[in-house]
């Protein structure tokens, strides 16, 4: 018999305790603390209260919680003394059917892990989608996490314990995050497209107007058409635009725009950008299936280019909608010397239409964007959703330092004009200078010596600089100091440099009225509010230039890592973001 919220809220303490037995392995103290927080508003709030009971516990209590877990394919499994829940989890993930080699591998991993950490390796083997990791994935995760620091692994194990509890609670309540599962599958389906040189290595890279990129646009368009949008088209820069009309037509009718980007960085994760496309498509499908029309319409835009990987044209997709498409971008060439204009033509885009893409802000309520956090905050505080207060402003540069290539063996150290040493000195200065401000960041993400040789002193060094801060004046001061250091370093070393600014975008505070809709939406799914700035840039900051915007962050797994194949979220968290977005749409589009 499945448990209901009402039963749990109305039960005696004793009955409530027994209802929550086994959620946390051999640790009923957690339920004891949590039931005092009744009545619970939702399943999400039960999960949060139980997680909070652990986070407020002592280190020793947390350690004993970890130690109460069985090893994977360990002694308890062999002796058949696992708890009912653990037995089902380890069976479902195939750990009871290891080959002799796998079994041996796991035993040695278990002993190495225990040796290093002093508690058993803990992994929610049902995985982020809840349908179970396979033995290969389990062993890969085990090997990867064995290299973690003690502190990081302690926190990761606690996160895994909460994930195990989350899935057990879902089972107890007979609730499955079905929309979240479907969203998970949509991401998997789109991730089959990847650029040459990456696809073969099972890496995800989708850069502007490659074949993979064009296939993504086609699939997103098909998905929108199948989800009840009234019109869908691919615009002149490759944005996929779907409209779901409101009840109000004609001059009075407005739209709420929402969306994110479908291009990726190199060797990317599957959720950066795409979650912000699929979540609103899912909401429109649910509205369409129920025949619901809101007062205002919904315009979902899958932006074609945000990352600026193939060409230095960051935010090209969203920029085109605010009228900042720079025609100079068209002559830019990629690393295969293909110009953007040629790439657009081969993709069948009508360049003459680009100038007509600018949106009239008076026709919009504003713009909202769902995005994975791409950072550790929500993962650390154990919250699935966060409301964004502002997006940090950034400046990007491409730099070339020029020295003199010379013989590495015969040129004395005091007679060199080494471009790479100068770039390295500047890079370390950037790191130290950014640390002096709160929340400033400065990164050299790309650096190379053109035509370098092992035995030649680098006569040229090309590199990128990415400089960000929560407010523009702080960002600008940091950039000025870095450029001053570039100048002085080159002067001292007898070098020259060129500096090309490739992006300058202002910090974008959230529009209070839209942020309030997000806060209401997060509260409506039974979660406490957490408001936070965004260190990452997003299309919302571009759209911010012509209309109000606000964002919702979704927790990332693995300490929120992003721009990395480990980027991940869970079906449960995606379910919650769809529910929150639906709530926002119902409120904002009916206001
Ligand atoms: O770089 C960024 O912040 C974003 O992922 N484009
Ligand atoms: Mn990104
Ligand atoms: Mn992004």
Q: Give the pLDDT of residue 251.
A: 77
Q: Provide mean pLDDT across the span 386-413.
A: 97
Residues 308, 57: Cα–Cα separation, whole Å: 45
Classified as helix, coil or strand, 110 is helix
Which structural domains are found in the chain, ordered by start? Answer: 5-173 (1.10.3330.10), 186-390+508-588 (3.40.630.10), 393-505 (3.30.70.360)
Distance in angstroms (rounded) separating the CA atoms of residues 564 and 265: 9
Residue 252 pLDDT > 80: no
pLDDT tens-digit readout, 300-331:
999 999 999 999 999 999 999 999 999 999 99
376 contacts: CB under 8 Å, gap ≥ 6: 556, 559, 560
Contact 570, 128 (CB under 8 A): yes
Average pLDDT over residues 543-555: 98
User: Cα of 164 to ligand 1 centre, how many Å?
Assistant: 31
Q: What is the pLDDT of residues 127-185, one digit of tens each?
A: 999 888 999 999 999 999 999 999 999 999 999 999 999 999 999 999 999 999 999 99
In angstroms, what is the span from residue 567 Cα to ligand 1's centroid?
Answer: 14
Which pLDDT score is estimated for 499?
A: 98
Which ligand gives the minimal distance to the CA of 303?
3
Q: What is the pLDDT of residue 438?
A: 85
Whole-number Å distance, alpha carbon 57 to ligand 3 midpoint, is 35
Q: How far is Cα of residue 396 from the mean position of the Cα atoms in its chain?
A: 21
User: Which one of the ligands is nearest to 394 CA?
Assistant: 1
Nearest ligand for residue 274 CA = 3
φ/ψ of 322, rounded to 5, equals -110, 5
For ligand 1, atom 4, name the residue with the nearest CA: 537
Residue 273 CA, closest ligand 1 atom number: 5
pLDDT, tens digit (0-9, with 9 covering 90-100), for 85-130: 888 888 888 888 888 999 999 999 999 999 999 999 999 999 999 8
Q: Which atom of ligand 1 is nearest to the CA of 307?
A: 6
- Which ligand minimizes its atom distance to the CA of 261? 3
Ligand 2 centroid to residue 479 C-alpha, Å: 22
Structure tokens given for 84: 């009912």
Kindly identify the ligand whose nearest atom is closest to the C-alpha of 269: 2
Closest among 21, 39, 38 to 29, alpha carbons compared = 21
pLDDT surpasses 80 at 575: yes
Ligand 1 pocket, mutate which of 537, 539, 540 (most atoms under 8 A from CB): 537
Mean per-residue pLDDT, 358-373: 98
User: Which positions ≥6 away from 78 have C-beta within 8 Å?
Assistant: none
Torsion of CA 266, 315, 186, 245, to 10 degrees: -170
Rounded to the nearest angstrom, the distance between the alpha carbon of 19 and the centre of ligand 2 is: 42
558 contacts 519 by C-beta, under 8 angstroms: no
CA of 115: how far to CAs of 118, 120, 371, in Å? 6, 10, 39
Supply the residue whose CA is at minimum distance from atom 6 of ligand 1. 307
Please identify, by atom number, the ligand 1 atom nearest to the C-alpha of residue 562.
5
Ligand 1 atom closest to residue 394's alpha carbon, by position in its atom list: 3
Mutate to test the pocket of ligand 1, among 262, 273, 305, 306 (most ligand atoms within 8 A of CB): 306
In the structure, which protein residues have their CB atom closer than 6 angstroms to any atom of ligand 1?
306-307, 536-537
Paired tokens of 107 = 């035993």
Tell me, in angstroms, the distance from the centre of ligand 1 to residue 125's CA. Answer: 31
The model's pLDDT over 404-428, given as tens digits with 9 standing for 90+, comes to: 999 999 999 999 999 999 999 999 9
The DSSP secondary-structure symbol of 200 reads G
Whole-angstrom distance, CA of residue 494 vs CA of residue 425: 14
pLDDT given at position 569: 97
How many whole angstroms from 271 Cα to the centroid of ligand 3?
Answer: 8
Q: Please tell me the distance from the alpha carbon of residue 274 to that of residue 191, in angstroms, as a whole number.
A: 10
Type and span of the H or E element at 420: helix 419-435
Asked if pLDDT for residue 389 goes beyond 90, the answer is yes
Ligand 2 centroid distance, CA of 272 (Å): 6
- CA end-to-end span of the chain, whole Å? 41
Q: Residue 451 — pLDDT band, cuts 50, 70, 90?
A: very high
In the prediction, which pLDDT does 480 show? 98
Q: Which of 264, 304, 307, 467 to mutate to test the pocket of ligand 1 (most atoms within 8 A of CB)?
A: 307
8 A C-beta contact, residue 147 and residue 121:
no
Which atom of ligand 1 has the smallest separation from the CA of 563? Answer: 5
Identify the nearest ligand to the CA of 275 by its number.
Answer: 3
Nearest 5°: CA angle at 446, between 441 and 450? 150
Report which of 113, 162, 116 is spatially closest to residue 138, judged by C-alpha positions: 113
CB 407 within 8 A of CB 448: no
Pocket test of ligand 1: the residue of 393, 536, 567 to mutate, having most ligand atoms within 8 Å of its CB, is 536
Q: How far apart are CA 586 and CA 47, in angstroms?
A: 26
Q: How far is the CA of 404 from the centre of ligand 1 (A)?
A: 34
Predicted pLDDT at 459: 98
* Element spanning 255, H or E: strand 255-261
Distance 449 CA to ligand 2 centre (A): 26
Residue reference for tokens 């064009």:
214
pTM for the structure as a whole: 0.92
Please tell me the predicted confidence (pLDDT) of residue 73.
Answer: 83
| DSSP H helical ranges for 56-148 | 59-67, 75-78, 84-92, 100-117, 135-146
Reduced 3-state DSSP string for 352-419: HHHHHCCCCHHHEEEEEEEEECCCCHHHHHCCCEEEEEEECEEEEEEEEEECCCEECCCCCHHHCCCH
CA dist 260 and 255 (Å) reads 16
Which of residues 391 and 251 earns the better pLDDT score? Answer: 391
**Which of 308, 538, 551, 560 has the most ligand 1 atoms within 8 A of CB, as the residue to mutate?**
538
Mean pLDDT, residues 577-582 taken together? 98
Residue 559, token pair as written in the block: 């300490």
Q: Is the pLDDT of residue 519 over 90?
A: yes
Per-residue pLDDT band at 80 (split at 50, 70, 90): confident
Instruction: Supply the angle between the helices 135-146 and 100-117 in degrees, to the nearest 10.
Output: 30
Q: How far apart are CA 389 and CA 509, in angstroms?
A: 6
**In 525-535, which positions are buried (b, 16+ CB within 10 angstroms) versus exposed (e)?**
bbbeeeebbbb
Supply the pLDDT for residue 253: 84
How many angstroms is it from 54 CA to the middle of ligand 2?
A: 32
Strand 364-372 with 549-554, pairing: parallel
Mean pLDDT score, 505-521: 97
What is the DSSP code string of 318-343? Answer: HHHHTT---GGGGG-B-TT--BHHHH
């Amino acid at each position: 018999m499945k448990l209901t919220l009402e039963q749990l809220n109305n039960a005696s303490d004793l009955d409530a305790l027994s209802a929550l037995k086994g959620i946390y392995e051999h640790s009923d103290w957690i339920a004891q603390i949590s039931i005092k927080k009744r009545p619970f508003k939702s399943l999400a709030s039960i999960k949060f209260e139980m997680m909070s009971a652990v986070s407020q516990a002592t280190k020793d209590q947390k350690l004993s919680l970890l130690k109460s877990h069985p090893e994977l394919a360990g002694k308890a499994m062999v002796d058949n003394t696992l708890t009912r829940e653990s037995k089902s989890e380890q069976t479902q993930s195939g750990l009871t059917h290891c080959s002799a080699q796998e079994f041996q591998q796991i035993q040695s991993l278990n002993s190495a892990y225990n040796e290093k950490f002093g508690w058993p390796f803990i992994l929610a083997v049902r995985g982020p989608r809840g349908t179970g990791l396979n033995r290969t994935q389990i062993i890969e995760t085990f090997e990867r996490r064995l290299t973690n620091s003690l502190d990081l692994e302690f926190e990761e194990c606690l996160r895994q314990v909460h994930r195990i509890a989350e899935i057990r609670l879902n089972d107890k309540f007979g609730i499955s995050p079905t929309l979240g599962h479907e969203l998970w599958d949509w991401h998997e389906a789109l991730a089959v497209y990847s650029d040459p040189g990456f696809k073969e290595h099972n890496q995800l890279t989708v850069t502007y107007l490659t074949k993979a990129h064009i296939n993504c646009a086609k699939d997103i368009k098909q998905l929108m058409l199948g989800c009840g949008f009234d019109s869908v088209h691919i615009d002149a820069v490759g944005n996929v635009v779907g409209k779901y009309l409101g009840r109000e037509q004609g001059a009075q009718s407005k739209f709420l725009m929402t969306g994110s980007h479908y291009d990726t960085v190199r060797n990317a994760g599957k959720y950066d950008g795409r979650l912000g496309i699929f979540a609103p498509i899912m909401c429109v499908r649910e509205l369409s299936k129920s025949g619901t029309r809101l007062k205002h319409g919904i315009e979902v835009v899958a932006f074609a280019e945000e990352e600026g990987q193939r060409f230095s044209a960051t935010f090209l997709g969203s920029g085109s909608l605010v009228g900042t498409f720079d025609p100079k971008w068209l002559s830019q060439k990629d690393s295969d010397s293909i110009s953007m204009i040629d790439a657009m033509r081969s993709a069948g885009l009508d360049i003459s239409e680009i100038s007509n893409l600018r949106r009239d802000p008076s026709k919009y309520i504003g713009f909202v964007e769902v995005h994975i956090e791409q950072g550790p905050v929500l993962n650390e505080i154990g919250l699935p959703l966060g409301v964004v207060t502002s997006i940090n402003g950034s400046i990007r540069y491409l730099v070339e330092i020029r020295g003199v290539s010379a013989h590495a063996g015969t040129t004395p150290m005091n007679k060199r004009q080494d471009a790479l040493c100068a770039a390295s000195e500047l890079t370390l200065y950037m790191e130290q200078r950014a640390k002096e401000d709160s929340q400033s960041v400065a990164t050299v993400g790309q650096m190379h010596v053109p035509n370098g040789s092992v035995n030649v002193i680098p006569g040229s060094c090309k590199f990128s600089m990415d400089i960000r801060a929560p407010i523009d004046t702080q960002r600008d001061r940091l950039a000025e100091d870095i450029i001053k250091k570039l100048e002085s370093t080159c002067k001292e070393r007898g070098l020259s440099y060129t500096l090309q600014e490739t992006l300058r975008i202002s910090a974008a505070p959230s529009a209070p009225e839209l942020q309030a809709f997000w806060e209401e939406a997060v509260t409506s799914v039974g979660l406490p509010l957490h408001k936070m700035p965004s260190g990452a840039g997003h299309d919302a900051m571009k759209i911010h230039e012509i209309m109000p915007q606000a964002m919702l962050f979704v927790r990332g797994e693995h300490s929120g890592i992003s721009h990395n194949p480990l980027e991940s979220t869970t079906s449960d968290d995606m379910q919650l973001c769809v529910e929150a977005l639906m709530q926002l749409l119902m409120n904002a589009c009916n206001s």
